[in-house]
Structure 1
Amino acid sequence: MLKDSGSKITHNVAQNLRRVRGERKLSLDGASQLTGVSKAMLGQIERGESSPTIATLWKIATGLQCSFSSFLGNTATTHANSQESSQETRDETSALQPQVELIADPNMQVLTLFPFDPLTSFEVFELVLSHHHEQHSTAHQAGVTERIHVISGVLSVMQNGQWETLKAGEQCVLAADKAHAYRDDAGETRFMAIIHYPQ
Protein backbone atom coordinates (compact mmCIF):
# COMPACT_ATOMS: atom_id res chain seq x y z
CA MET A 1 0.00 0.00 0.00
CA LEU A 2 1.03 3.63 -0.41
CA LYS A 3 2.19 4.84 2.98
CA ASP A 4 1.98 8.54 3.76
CA SER A 5 1.52 10.88 6.71
CA GLY A 6 -2.14 11.62 7.37
CA SER A 7 -3.26 9.73 4.28
CA LYS A 8 -2.46 12.80 2.17
CA ILE A 9 -1.48 10.77 -0.87
CA THR A 10 -4.50 8.48 -0.52
CA HIS A 11 -6.69 11.60 -0.54
CA ASN A 12 -4.88 13.11 -3.53
CA VAL A 13 -5.06 9.88 -5.54
CA ALA A 14 -8.79 9.66 -4.82
CA GLN A 15 -9.39 13.26 -5.93
CA ASN A 16 -7.28 12.99 -9.05
CA LEU A 17 -8.76 9.67 -10.15
CA ARG A 18 -12.25 11.13 -9.79
CA ARG A 19 -11.17 14.26 -11.68
CA VAL A 20 -9.59 12.35 -14.57
CA ARG A 21 -12.62 10.08 -14.86
CA GLY A 22 -14.87 13.13 -14.96
CA GLU A 23 -12.77 14.83 -17.62
CA ARG A 24 -12.87 11.71 -19.79
CA LYS A 25 -16.57 11.12 -19.02
CA LEU A 26 -15.68 7.57 -18.03
CA SER A 27 -17.82 5.32 -15.87
CA LEU A 28 -16.11 3.08 -13.35
CA ASP A 29 -16.73 0.22 -15.78
CA GLY A 30 -15.04 2.16 -18.56
CA ALA A 31 -12.06 3.04 -16.38
CA SER A 32 -11.79 -0.58 -15.29
CA GLN A 33 -11.65 -1.77 -18.90
CA LEU A 34 -8.89 0.72 -19.72
CA THR A 35 -6.76 0.07 -16.64
CA GLY A 36 -7.28 -3.60 -15.88
CA VAL A 37 -8.15 -2.63 -12.29
CA SER A 38 -11.50 -3.87 -11.03
CA LYS A 39 -14.50 -1.54 -10.81
CA ALA A 40 -14.80 -2.32 -7.10
CA MET A 41 -11.16 -1.42 -6.43
CA LEU A 42 -11.40 1.82 -8.42
CA GLY A 43 -14.50 2.77 -6.45
CA GLN A 44 -12.75 2.10 -3.15
CA ILE A 45 -9.75 4.18 -4.25
CA GLU A 46 -11.98 7.10 -5.30
CA ARG A 47 -13.76 7.03 -1.95
CA GLY A 48 -10.46 6.95 -0.09
CA GLU A 49 -11.32 3.56 1.38
CA SER A 50 -8.36 1.80 -0.22
CA SER A 51 -4.82 2.91 -0.98
CA PRO A 52 -3.43 1.31 -4.16
CA THR A 53 -0.06 -0.36 -4.36
CA ILE A 54 2.56 1.34 -6.48
CA ALA A 55 2.03 -1.29 -9.18
CA THR A 56 -1.74 -0.69 -9.19
CA LEU A 57 -1.28 3.07 -9.43
CA TRP A 58 1.03 2.54 -12.41
CA LYS A 59 -1.67 0.44 -14.08
CA ILE A 60 -4.23 3.17 -13.51
CA ALA A 61 -1.92 5.89 -14.83
CA THR A 62 -1.00 3.83 -17.88
CA GLY A 63 -4.57 2.84 -18.69
CA LEU A 64 -5.80 6.43 -18.39
CA GLN A 65 -2.72 7.74 -20.25
CA CYS A 66 -1.67 10.00 -17.40
CA SER A 67 1.70 10.53 -15.80
CA PHE A 68 2.30 8.67 -12.52
CA SER A 69 2.99 11.85 -10.55
CA SER A 70 -0.21 13.50 -11.80
CA PHE A 71 -2.13 11.43 -9.24
CA LEU A 72 -0.03 12.56 -6.28
CA GLY A 73 -0.45 16.35 -6.16
CA ASN A 74 -3.43 18.43 -5.10
CA THR A 75 -3.79 20.11 -8.49
CA ALA A 76 -1.66 17.91 -10.73
CA THR A 77 -1.94 18.29 -14.47
CA THR A 78 -2.64 15.09 -16.42
CA HIS A 79 -0.75 13.95 -19.47
CA ALA A 80 -3.92 14.51 -21.46
CA ASN A 81 -3.32 18.24 -21.00
CA SER A 82 0.37 18.09 -21.88
CA GLN A 83 -0.11 20.24 -24.98
CA GLU A 84 -0.83 23.28 -22.78
CA SER A 85 2.30 25.40 -22.80
CA SER A 86 1.18 28.69 -21.25
CA GLN A 87 3.07 30.43 -18.49
CA GLU A 88 0.09 29.72 -16.23
CA THR A 89 0.64 25.99 -16.76
CA ARG A 90 4.33 26.38 -15.95
CA ASP A 91 3.46 28.28 -12.77
CA GLU A 92 0.97 25.60 -11.69
CA THR A 93 3.48 22.83 -12.35
CA SER A 94 6.25 24.64 -10.51
CA ALA A 95 3.94 25.13 -7.55
CA LEU A 96 3.62 21.37 -7.24
CA GLN A 97 7.33 20.79 -6.80
CA PRO A 98 7.57 21.56 -3.06
CA GLN A 99 4.66 19.18 -2.43
CA VAL A 100 6.42 15.97 -3.48
CA GLU A 101 5.84 12.96 -1.27
CA LEU A 102 7.48 9.65 -0.49
CA ILE A 103 5.27 6.67 -1.21
CA ALA A 104 6.16 3.12 -0.28
CA ASP A 105 5.30 -0.53 -0.55
CA PRO A 106 7.02 -2.98 1.84
CA ASN A 107 10.11 -3.44 -0.39
CA MET A 108 9.88 -0.41 -2.66
CA GLN A 109 9.89 3.34 -2.08
CA VAL A 110 9.26 6.06 -4.65
CA LEU A 111 10.16 9.71 -4.06
CA THR A 112 8.91 12.23 -6.60
CA LEU A 113 11.82 14.58 -7.26
CA PHE A 114 10.15 16.51 -10.09
CA PRO A 115 6.44 16.03 -10.87
CA PHE A 116 5.34 15.78 -14.49
CA ASP A 117 5.92 19.01 -16.40
CA PRO A 118 3.70 19.38 -19.50
CA LEU A 119 6.30 21.66 -21.11
CA THR A 120 9.05 19.03 -21.06
CA SER A 121 6.95 15.84 -20.76
CA PHE A 122 9.35 14.56 -18.07
CA GLU A 123 8.88 13.42 -14.48
CA VAL A 124 11.73 12.32 -12.20
CA PHE A 125 11.69 9.81 -9.35
CA GLU A 126 14.17 8.34 -6.88
CA LEU A 127 13.40 4.70 -6.10
CA VAL A 128 14.69 2.32 -3.45
CA LEU A 129 14.30 -1.45 -3.74
CA SER A 130 15.20 -3.61 -0.74
CA HIS A 131 15.41 -7.26 0.33
CA HIS A 132 16.21 -8.39 -3.24
CA HIS A 133 12.75 -7.29 -4.33
CA GLU A 134 11.82 -7.80 -8.00
CA GLN A 135 9.32 -5.29 -9.38
CA HIS A 136 7.57 -6.03 -12.68
CA SER A 137 5.87 -3.31 -14.68
CA THR A 138 3.38 -3.68 -17.49
CA ALA A 139 3.92 -1.68 -20.67
CA HIS A 140 3.26 2.05 -20.34
CA GLN A 141 1.62 4.01 -23.13
CA ALA A 142 3.28 4.01 -26.56
CA GLY A 143 6.53 5.96 -26.80
CA VAL A 144 7.28 6.24 -23.07
CA THR A 145 10.96 5.87 -22.18
CA GLU A 146 12.73 5.54 -18.82
CA ARG A 147 16.29 6.66 -18.22
CA ILE A 148 17.72 4.76 -15.25
CA HIS A 149 20.76 5.87 -13.22
CA VAL A 150 21.95 3.74 -10.29
CA ILE A 151 22.93 5.77 -7.23
CA SER A 152 23.92 2.92 -4.91
CA GLY A 153 23.67 -0.87 -4.76
CA VAL A 154 23.26 -3.22 -7.72
CA LEU A 155 20.22 -3.05 -9.99
CA SER A 156 19.19 -5.63 -12.56
CA VAL A 157 16.87 -4.35 -15.28
CA MET A 158 14.82 -6.56 -17.58
CA GLN A 159 13.70 -5.52 -21.04
CA ASN A 160 12.90 -7.65 -24.08
CA GLY A 161 13.11 -10.68 -21.80
CA GLN A 162 16.80 -10.07 -21.02
CA TRP A 163 18.32 -8.98 -17.70
CA GLU A 164 21.09 -6.36 -17.54
CA THR A 165 23.02 -5.65 -14.33
CA LEU A 166 23.93 -2.08 -13.43
CA LYS A 167 26.24 -0.96 -10.63
CA ALA A 168 26.42 2.42 -8.91
CA GLY A 169 27.19 5.13 -11.45
CA GLU A 170 25.89 3.12 -14.42
CA GLN A 171 22.78 3.82 -16.45
CA CYS A 172 20.54 2.57 -19.23
CA VAL A 173 17.52 3.61 -21.28
CA LEU A 174 14.36 1.49 -21.24
CA ALA A 175 11.62 1.36 -23.83
CA ALA A 176 8.92 1.50 -21.15
CA ASP A 177 6.11 0.86 -23.62
CA LYS A 178 7.07 -2.80 -23.28
CA ALA A 179 6.92 -5.00 -20.18
CA HIS A 180 9.98 -4.42 -18.01
CA ALA A 181 11.24 -5.15 -14.50
CA TYR A 182 13.74 -4.10 -11.84
CA ARG A 183 15.50 -6.23 -9.21
CA ASP A 184 17.58 -5.31 -6.18
CA ASP A 185 20.72 -7.48 -6.20
CA ALA A 186 22.45 -5.87 -3.23
CA GLY A 187 19.96 -5.99 -0.37
CA GLU A 188 19.15 -2.33 -0.98
CA THR A 189 19.48 -0.41 -4.23
CA ARG A 190 18.75 3.25 -4.88
CA PHE A 191 18.27 4.59 -8.40
CA MET A 192 16.86 7.50 -10.33
CA ALA A 193 14.21 7.10 -13.04
CA ILE A 194 13.60 9.89 -15.53
CA ILE A 195 10.39 9.15 -17.41
CA HIS A 196 9.60 10.85 -20.70
CA TYR A 197 6.13 10.82 -22.26
CA PRO A 198 5.66 11.42 -26.00
CA GLN A 199 4.01 14.68 -26.96
Structure 2
Amino acid sequence: MSDLEKLTQALARNLKRWRGERGFTLDSLAARSGVSRGMIIQIEQARTNPSVGTTVKLADALGVSISTLLDYDRGPQVRIVPPDQVVRIWSSGAGSSTTMLIGTDERGPMELWTWHLVPGEGTESAPHPSGTIEMLHVTAGELTLVVGEEEFRVPAGAAATFEANLAHSYRNDGPVPMEMTLAVSVPPVSAPLPAPASAAAHETVRAVVHEGDGRS
Protein backbone atom coordinates (compact mmCIF):
# COMPACT_ATOMS: atom_id res chain seq x y z
CA MET A 1 0.00 0.00 0.00
CA SER A 2 1.37 3.40 -0.99
CA ASP A 3 1.69 6.32 1.43
CA LEU A 4 -1.22 8.06 -0.30
CA GLU A 5 -3.41 4.99 0.14
CA LYS A 6 -2.43 4.80 3.81
CA LEU A 7 -3.38 8.44 4.32
CA THR A 8 -6.70 7.94 2.53
CA GLN A 9 -7.53 4.95 4.73
CA ALA A 10 -6.39 6.80 7.86
CA LEU A 11 -8.49 9.84 7.02
CA ALA A 12 -11.54 7.65 6.40
CA ARG A 13 -11.12 5.85 9.72
CA ASN A 14 -10.28 8.93 11.80
CA LEU A 15 -12.98 11.15 10.28
CA LYS A 16 -15.64 8.56 11.08
CA ARG A 17 -14.25 8.07 14.57
CA TRP A 18 -14.09 11.78 15.45
CA ARG A 19 -17.49 12.50 13.93
CA GLY A 20 -18.87 9.84 16.28
CA GLU A 21 -16.86 11.21 19.22
CA ARG A 22 -18.32 14.68 18.67
CA GLY A 23 -21.84 13.37 18.14
CA PHE A 24 -22.18 14.89 14.66
CA THR A 25 -24.45 13.45 12.01
CA LEU A 26 -23.37 13.64 8.39
CA ASP A 27 -25.68 16.60 7.88
CA SER A 28 -24.55 18.47 10.99
CA LEU A 29 -20.86 18.04 10.11
CA ALA A 30 -21.58 19.19 6.56
CA ALA A 31 -23.30 22.32 7.85
CA ARG A 32 -20.55 23.00 10.37
CA SER A 33 -17.63 22.49 7.97
CA GLY A 34 -19.01 23.65 4.65
CA VAL A 35 -18.06 20.29 3.11
CA SER A 36 -20.92 18.55 1.34
CA ARG A 37 -22.58 15.48 2.85
CA GLY A 38 -21.74 13.47 -0.27
CA MET A 39 -18.05 14.39 -0.01
CA ILE A 40 -17.96 13.38 3.67
CA ILE A 41 -19.50 10.01 2.80
CA GLN A 42 -16.90 9.44 0.08
CA ILE A 43 -14.07 10.37 2.46
CA GLU A 44 -15.36 8.05 5.20
CA GLN A 45 -15.56 5.22 2.68
CA ALA A 46 -12.00 5.95 1.46
CA ARG A 47 -13.31 6.52 -2.07
CA THR A 48 -11.66 9.91 -2.56
CA ASN A 49 -8.54 11.82 -1.63
CA PRO A 50 -9.76 15.29 -0.56
CA SER A 51 -7.85 18.51 -1.00
CA VAL A 52 -5.88 20.08 1.83
CA GLY A 53 -8.52 22.81 2.07
CA THR A 54 -11.30 20.27 2.57
CA THR A 55 -9.28 18.42 5.19
CA VAL A 56 -8.61 21.68 7.05
CA LYS A 57 -12.33 22.51 7.07
CA LEU A 58 -13.18 19.10 8.51
CA ALA A 59 -10.43 19.29 11.13
CA ASP A 60 -11.56 22.75 12.23
CA ALA A 61 -15.19 21.64 12.43
CA LEU A 62 -14.22 18.65 14.58
CA GLY A 63 -11.85 20.65 16.76
CA VAL A 64 -8.83 18.45 16.02
CA SER A 65 -5.56 18.95 14.17
CA ILE A 66 -4.96 17.84 10.60
CA SER A 67 -2.26 15.49 11.86
CA THR A 68 -4.85 13.78 14.05
CA LEU A 69 -7.10 13.16 11.06
CA LEU A 70 -4.19 11.85 8.99
CA ASP A 71 -2.55 9.74 11.69
CA TYR A 72 -2.48 6.27 10.15
CA ASP A 73 -0.64 4.78 13.13
CA ARG A 74 -3.63 5.48 15.38
CA GLY A 75 -5.41 2.26 16.27
CA PRO A 76 -8.08 1.42 18.82
CA GLN A 77 -7.32 3.33 22.03
CA VAL A 78 -7.13 0.60 24.64
CA ARG A 79 -5.80 1.12 28.16
CA ILE A 80 -5.52 -1.75 30.62
CA VAL A 81 -5.10 -1.08 34.33
CA PRO A 82 -3.51 -4.02 36.22
CA PRO A 83 -4.98 -4.95 39.63
CA ASP A 84 -1.94 -3.56 41.45
CA GLN A 85 -2.45 -0.12 39.86
CA VAL A 86 -6.06 0.56 40.87
CA VAL A 87 -6.45 3.44 43.33
CA ARG A 88 -8.04 2.93 46.74
CA ILE A 89 -9.61 6.29 47.57
CA TRP A 90 -11.17 5.54 50.95
CA SER A 91 -11.10 2.81 53.55
CA SER A 92 -12.21 2.36 57.15
CA GLY A 93 -10.73 0.49 60.05
CA ALA A 94 -13.67 -1.90 59.94
CA GLY A 95 -12.84 -2.95 56.38
CA SER A 96 -15.05 -0.83 54.11
CA SER A 97 -13.42 0.66 51.02
CA THR A 98 -13.95 2.39 47.68
CA THR A 99 -11.56 1.83 44.80
CA MET A 100 -11.42 3.60 41.43
CA LEU A 101 -10.73 0.93 38.83
CA ILE A 102 -10.28 3.14 35.76
CA GLY A 103 -11.21 6.57 34.42
CA THR A 104 -11.11 8.64 31.25
CA ASP A 105 -11.44 12.31 30.30
CA GLU A 106 -12.05 11.68 26.59
CA ARG A 107 -15.58 13.14 26.47
CA GLY A 108 -15.92 14.42 30.01
CA PRO A 109 -14.75 12.53 33.09
CA MET A 110 -16.02 8.97 33.43
CA GLU A 111 -15.00 6.66 36.26
CA LEU A 112 -15.56 3.02 37.20
CA TRP A 113 -15.48 2.11 40.89
CA THR A 114 -15.80 -0.95 43.09
CA TRP A 115 -17.32 -0.57 46.55
CA HIS A 116 -17.20 -2.71 49.68
CA LEU A 117 -19.24 -1.64 52.72
CA VAL A 118 -19.34 -3.68 55.91
CA PRO A 119 -22.58 -3.75 57.92
CA GLY A 120 -23.37 -0.46 59.62
CA GLU A 121 -21.05 1.70 57.52
CA GLY A 122 -21.68 4.21 54.76
CA THR A 123 -20.39 7.34 53.09
CA GLU A 124 -21.87 10.63 51.88
CA SER A 125 -21.27 12.59 48.69
CA ALA A 126 -21.90 16.26 47.98
CA PRO A 127 -23.89 17.19 44.85
CA HIS A 128 -21.99 16.73 41.58
CA PRO A 129 -22.21 19.13 38.60
CA SER A 130 -25.58 19.26 36.87
CA GLY A 131 -25.81 16.52 34.26
CA THR A 132 -23.78 13.98 36.26
CA ILE A 133 -25.20 10.46 36.08
CA GLU A 134 -24.33 7.51 38.33
CA MET A 135 -25.10 3.88 37.55
CA LEU A 136 -24.52 1.02 39.95
CA HIS A 137 -24.91 -2.75 40.19
CA VAL A 138 -25.08 -4.48 43.56
CA THR A 139 -23.42 -7.90 43.54
CA ALA A 140 -23.69 -8.83 47.23
CA GLY A 141 -25.75 -7.72 50.22
CA GLU A 142 -28.15 -4.79 49.97
CA LEU A 143 -27.40 -1.12 49.37
CA THR A 144 -29.35 1.69 51.00
CA LEU A 145 -29.14 4.55 48.51
CA VAL A 146 -30.19 8.02 49.61
CA VAL A 147 -30.61 10.73 46.97
CA GLY A 148 -31.80 14.09 48.22
CA GLU A 149 -34.43 13.25 50.84
CA GLU A 150 -35.47 9.91 49.34
CA GLU A 151 -34.21 6.47 50.35
CA PHE A 152 -34.01 3.44 48.09
CA ARG A 153 -33.17 -0.21 48.78
CA VAL A 154 -31.09 -1.90 46.09
CA PRO A 155 -30.68 -5.67 46.67
CA ALA A 156 -28.03 -7.96 45.22
CA GLY A 157 -28.59 -8.51 41.51
CA ALA A 158 -30.36 -5.18 41.08
CA ALA A 159 -29.10 -2.07 39.31
CA ALA A 160 -29.90 1.61 39.75
CA THR A 161 -29.24 4.89 37.96
CA PHE A 162 -29.81 8.44 39.17
CA GLU A 163 -29.00 12.08 38.53
CA ALA A 164 -26.27 12.97 41.01
CA ASN A 165 -26.70 16.74 41.21
CA LEU A 166 -28.25 16.29 44.68
CA ALA A 167 -26.50 15.24 47.88
CA HIS A 168 -26.45 11.45 48.04
CA SER A 169 -25.13 8.67 50.22
CA TYR A 170 -24.51 4.94 50.23
CA ARG A 171 -25.12 2.81 53.33
CA ASN A 172 -25.09 -0.81 54.32
CA ASP A 173 -27.91 -1.28 56.83
CA GLY A 174 -27.94 -5.05 56.37
CA PRO A 175 -26.28 -7.90 58.27
CA VAL A 176 -23.75 -8.89 55.56
CA PRO A 177 -21.12 -6.98 53.54
CA MET A 178 -22.37 -5.05 50.49
CA GLU A 179 -20.47 -5.15 47.20
CA MET A 180 -21.23 -3.02 44.15
CA THR A 181 -19.74 -1.64 40.95
CA LEU A 182 -20.39 2.06 40.32
CA ALA A 183 -19.94 4.14 37.15
CA VAL A 184 -19.92 7.96 37.25
CA SER A 185 -20.29 10.12 34.13
CA VAL A 186 -19.64 13.87 34.47
CA PRO A 187 -20.38 16.29 31.58
CA PRO A 188 -17.42 18.16 30.04
CA VAL A 189 -16.75 21.48 31.75
CA SER A 190 -16.90 23.25 28.38
CA ALA A 191 -20.40 22.00 27.65
CA PRO A 192 -23.26 24.41 28.32
CA LEU A 193 -24.98 23.55 31.57
CA PRO A 194 -28.72 22.82 31.58
CA ALA A 195 -30.98 25.60 32.81
CA PRO A 196 -31.60 25.39 36.58
CA ALA A 197 -34.55 23.19 37.44
CA SER A 198 -37.42 24.42 39.57
CA ALA A 199 -37.43 23.78 43.30
CA ALA A 200 -40.09 21.14 42.79
CA ALA A 201 -37.98 19.38 40.18
CA HIS A 202 -35.03 19.37 42.55
CA GLU A 203 -37.10 17.31 44.95
CA THR A 204 -37.77 14.72 42.28
CA VAL A 205 -35.15 12.04 41.90
CA ARG A 206 -35.23 9.57 39.09
CA ALA A 207 -33.87 6.35 40.49
CA VAL A 208 -34.47 3.28 38.38
CA VAL A 209 -34.08 -0.03 40.15
CA HIS A 210 -34.24 -3.25 38.16
CA GLU A 211 -34.85 -6.22 40.44
CA GLY A 212 -32.42 -9.06 39.89
CA ASP A 213 -33.85 -11.65 37.49
CA GLY A 214 -30.68 -13.16 36.14
CA ARG A 215 -29.87 -10.09 34.03
CA SER A 216 -27.42 -7.38 35.11
**TM-score normalised by the chain length of structure 1:** 0.49
Which has more helix, going by share of residues?
1
Tell which structure's C-alpha radius of gyration is larger. 2
**TM-score normalised by the chain length of structure 2:** 0.46
